[in-house]
């Protein structure tokens, strides 16, 4: 059982949720982030927080900072909560000399993060996925583009780099580059649902499916758990076939007949972690043998400040308004915890810093949230 756990990406609400779950199940938790201000700093359950160098700007500096912290704090386990997992994977062999790692090997990380490679892997296993191919100069545009279709950058996140293309319009008309950095994909009809799973060497320790009820731009800020067995079966088959280890999140389209088809994968936590019980997160990550809960009782969650920012759009568009308002009223604020009140106030400092950073860098909020740790290519391996 890992006693001292390092959680990276401390700016993210998901990281705070993970830190709380780990601490409430007996771990000593340390957080790190490249931002000088991050939400985990405000938590009394996080023993110590550090600022590290941005791996995107200075990989060598990031590597040294992380290794120094691992040695100083005598870390037993590293749990990434952001795309910095790709940079950690670059020196995984060195890290493993000092601690365990809760993420898969670099090759699998790349394959599931690359949207086309993930589709091909799943199809080879026999799992349902949309028809999809890389957009490369000289390639034949597939027949399904005769209907409305999807254009995606192979490396993207939080709904960025996704275009809902119209039937018969060539990808070039949307500015997509024919260099293999984009793919064209069949547009499936059905409901979009998301999964989040804690996996140990191909076996699921904890799993749930959720619907983003309210979004701020392309980022979900209100979430509701959904009972969806077809998605669990899909994920179980995939992680068993690949031997996945760590936290994995996937997006699905569920057809009117109930078939679940995965459209992309994130080899890291997403907002689904807010719907896990603390015990499921803590024990699920570091000691699944002690986990006795099979289903989380948390049905709804929200990031309050994000919800308030999105609310004017929700009221203006009025689509599914009653359902969304009910979810908002019934959802718990992920920042509020009676055993850990600090983040509820400290989030104002963090939110202010992020807004300043957005203004200074001219980046949208969703891009600013992962600025400095986002990963867009295989060149680091």
**Are 178 and 195 contained in the same domain?**
no
DSSP bridge partners of 248: 197
Report d(CA 272, CA 249) in Å as an integer.
Answer: 8
Report d(CA 293, CA 201) in Å as an integer.
Answer: 20
Q: For residue 137, what are the domain limits?
A: 131-186
In a domain, 115, yes or no: no
**Are 229 and 177 contained in the same domain?**
no
**Are 224 and 159 contained in the same domain?**
no
C-beta neighbour count of 263 within 10 angstroms: 23
In a domain, 9, yes or no: no
pLDDT of residue 158: 65
DSSP bridge partners of 214: 222
Let me know if 129 is exposed, middle or buried by CB neighbors in 10 A (0-12, 13-18, 19+). buried
In a domain, 39, yes or no: no
Residue that is last in its domain, among 186, 206, 232: 186
Which pTM does this prediction carry? Answer: 0.93
CA distances, 325 to each of 222, 302, 307, 319, 320 (Å): 10, 12, 11, 11, 9
Q: C-alpha 358: how far from its chain's center?
A: 21
pLDDT of residue 247: 97
In a domain, 259, yes or no: yes
**Are 175 and 201 contained in the same domain?**
no
Helix (H, G, I), strand (E, B) or coil at 79: strand
Report d(CA 339, CA 16) in Å as an integer.
Answer: 13
Q: List the one residue out of 257, 264, 195 whose CA is nearest residue 231.
A: 195
Residue that is last in its domain, among 337, 353, 375: 337
Can you read off the two tokens belonging to residue 334? Answer: 């992920």
**Are 333 and 239 contained in the same domain?**
yes
pLDDT of residue 1: 61
pLDDT of residue 364: 77
pLDDT of residue 379: 53
**Are 231 and 277 contained in the same domain?**
yes
pLDDT of residue 309: 85
Q: How many structural domains comprise the chain?
A: 2
**Are 179 and 271 contained in the same domain?**
no
Convert 100-113 into a string of H (helix), E (strand) and C (coil).
EECCCCHHHHHHHH
The CATH number of the domain holding residue 314 is 3.30.470.20
Q: Which residues of 323-333 are buried (b: 16+ CB within 10 A; e: fewer)?
A: ebeebbeebeb
In a domain, 52, yes or no: no
**First and final CA of the chain: distance in angstroms?**
30
**Are 163 and 298 contained in the same domain?**
no
Report d(CA 18, CA 11) in Å as an integer.
Answer: 12
**Are 142 and 217 contained in the same domain?**
no
DSSP bridge partners of 212: 223
In a domain, 46, yes or no: no
pLDDT of residue 159: 64
Can you read off the two tokens belonging to residue 63? Answer: 């590597």
Report residue 253: phi and psi, to 5°: -110, 125
**Are 135 and 267 contained in the same domain?**
no
User: In sequence order, which residues have a C-beta less than 8 Å from that of residue 268 and are 6 or more positions away?
Assistant: 80, 81, 82, 83, 85, 103, 246, 247, 248, 249
**Are 180 and 288 contained in the same domain?**
no
Report d(CA 231, CA 368) in Å as an integer.
Answer: 31
pLDDT tens sequence for the chain (381 residues): 669 999 999 999 999 999 999 999 999 999 999 999 999 999 999 999 999 999 988 999 999 999 999 999 999 999 999 999 999 999 999 999 999 999 999 999 999 999 999 999 999 999 999 999 999 887 767 777 788 899 998 887 766 778 888 988 888 888 888 888 899 999 999 999 999 999 999 999 999 999 988 887 767 889 999 999 999 999 999 999 999 999 999 999 999 999 999 999 999 999 999 999 999 999 999 999 988 888 899 999 998 888 888 888 888 887 888 888 999 999 999 999 999 999 999 999 998 998 898 888 888 777 778 888 888 775 545
**Are 243 and 327 contained in the same domain?**
yes
Can you read off the two tokens belonging to residue 349? Answer: 């400092």
């Amino acid at each position: 059982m890992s006693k001292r756990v390092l959680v990276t990406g401390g700016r993210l609400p998901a990281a705070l949720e993970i830190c709380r779950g780990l601490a409430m199940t007996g771990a000593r938790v340390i957080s790190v982030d490249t931002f000088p201000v991050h939400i985990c700093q405000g938590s009394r359950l996080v023993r110590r927080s550090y600022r590290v160098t941005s791996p995107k700007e200075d990989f060598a500096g990031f590597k040294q900072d992380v290794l120094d912290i691992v040695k100083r704090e005598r870390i037993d386990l590293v749990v990434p909560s952001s795309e910095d997992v790709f940079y950690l994977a670059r020196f995984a062999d060195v890290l493993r000399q000092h601690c365990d790692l809760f993420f898969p090997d670099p090759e699998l990380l790349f394959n599931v993060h690359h949207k086309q490679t993930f589709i091909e892997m799943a199809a080879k296993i026999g799992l349902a996925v949309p028809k999809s191919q890389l957009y490369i100069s000289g390639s034949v545009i597939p027949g399904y583009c005769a209907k409305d279709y999807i254009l995606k950058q192979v490396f993207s996140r939080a709904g960025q780099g996704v275009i809902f293309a119209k039937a018969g319009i060539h990808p070039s008309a949307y500015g997509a580059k024919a260099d293999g950095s984009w793919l064209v994909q069949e547009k499936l009809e059905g409901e979009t649902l998301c999964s989040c799973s804690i996996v140990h060497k191909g076996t699921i320790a904890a799993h749930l499916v959720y619907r983003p009820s309210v979004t701020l731009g392309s980022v979900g800020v209100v979430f509701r758990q959904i009972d969806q067995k077809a998605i669990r079966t899909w994920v179980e088959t995939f992680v068993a076939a690949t031997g996945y280890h760590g936290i994995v999140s996937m997006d699905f389209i569920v057809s009117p007949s109930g078939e679940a088809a995965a459209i992309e994968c994130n080899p890291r936590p997403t907002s689904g972690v807010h719907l896990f019980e603390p015990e499921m997160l803590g024990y699920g990550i570091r000691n699944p043998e002690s986990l006795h809960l099979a289903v989380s009782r948390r049905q709804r969650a929200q990031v309050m400040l994000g919800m308030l920012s999105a609310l004017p759009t929700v009221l203006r568009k009025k689509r599914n308004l009653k359902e969304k308002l009910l979810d908002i009223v019934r959802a718990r604020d992920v920042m509020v915890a009676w055993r850990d009140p600090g983040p509820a106030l400290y989030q104002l400092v963090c939110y202010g810093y992020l807004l300043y950073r957005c203004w200074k860098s001219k980046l949208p909020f969703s891009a600013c949230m992962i600025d400095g740790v986002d990963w867009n290519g295989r060149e680091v391996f």
